Amino acid sequence: MTKTFLPKLVTLIAGLVLSVAAIASEGSATQQSGTDLGDRVSLQRGAQLYMNYCSGCHSLKYLRYSRIGEDLGLSEDEVMNNLNLTGAKFGETIQTAMPADHAQQWFGQTPPDLSVISRVRGSNWIYTYLKSFYLDESRPLGWNNQLFPNASMPNPLWQMQGLQRAEYGKADATGERPVEKLVMAQAGTLEAEQFNQVARDITAFLEYAGEPAVLKREAMGVWVILFLAFFTFLAWLLKTEYWKDVH
């Protein structure tokens, strides 16, 4: 038994070390999103920003308008007037108005559905991605992204953020000059901190969209704990009652 146990243990430890290293290296490339799903106003702003700046290209095909209303505390009128830009029905899911073949032609790719993107990429990645666009004349649409090199998405938030340019480091072995940092070339309509909040709100909304049940589950968690505590107390009363006569 020990013969197979040891190699298994070694593989397990190696695996743990590798995954910790992977998490650490991801952490250094991305910034902390600072999202708070308990902050309903942030989620409401995020939903509005998403509909205005992202939904033209990206669908959320598992999320219904009605569900957003219910979860974020918005009335049917509020959802239909402010969030629904496509004329879909209240009970329908969020589709984009853009035909897929046009998208393919314009961007070289169809913009992916973002329903589960927060689970695939994580919220720090999304937050950092939204802040990492820079001007790059060598790209078809004039945009590049430091976190996701050669992404075919143009920066949808540039008016608020402003225009960033890259400062390049020394050429590496392949002759490519890596992007060292991004500098603001032209200010946007928002201050840096305000823009961070915009990116944070959108990220929070996508985090919620990835698992809408999370809001309800967290609210329910408190009741579950209270119930368990109460039940433990009952069990204890019962036990003292049973053991009373045993000496």
Q: Which residues bind ligand HEC (CB under 6 A)?
A: 53-54, 56-58, 107, 109, 111-112, 114, 117, 121, 126, 129-130, 151-154, 156-157, 202
| Between 57 and 215, CB nearer to ligand HEC | 57
Minimal distance, residue 98 CB to ligand HEC, in Å: 7
Of all residues in the shown chain, the one whose CB is closest to ligand HEC is 54
CB of 146 to ligand HEC, least distance (A): 14
Q: Tell me which residue of 132, 128, 123 sits closest to 158, measured CA to CA.
A: 132
Report in angstroms the alpha-carbon separations of 51 from 16, 19, 95, 177, 237. Answer: 40, 36, 11, 36, 55
Q: Which C-beta is closer to ligand HEC: that of 61 or that of 217?
A: 61
Taking the least distance from each CB to ligand HEC, the nearer of 146 and 228 is 146
Between residues 74 and 123, which has the closer beta carbon with respect to ligand HEC? 123
What is the nearest approach in angstroms of ligand HEC to the Cβ of residue 105? 11
- CB-side neighbour CA atoms (13 Å) of 218: 10
Structure token pair of residue 64:
């219904």
83 is written with which tokens? 């969030």
Decide: helix, strand or coil at residue 125.
helix
> What is the 3-state secondary structure of 133-186?
EEECCCCCCCEEECCCCCCCCCCCCHHHHEEEEEEECCCCCCCCCCEEEEEEEE
Q: How far is the CB of 49 from ligand HEC (least distance, A)?
A: 7
In this structure, how many other beta carbons lie within 10 angstroms of the beta carbon of residue 58?
23
Nearest CB to ligand HEC, comparing residues 47 and 114: 114
Distance of closest approach, residue 226 Cβ to ligand HEC, in angstroms: 37
Q: Closest distance between ligand HEC and the C-beta of residue 46, in Å?
A: 9
Residue of 205, 208, 202 whose CA lies nearest to 127: 202
Q: Which is nearer to ligand HEC, 15 or 108 (CB)?
A: 108
For the CA atoms of 188, 189, 190, 191, what is the dihedral angle to 10 degrees?
A: 60
- Closer to ligand HEC by Cβ: residue 69 or 123: 123
- Measured from the CB of residue 149, what is the shortest distance to ligand HEC in angstroms? 10
State the CB neighbour count (10 A cutoff) for residue 142: 11
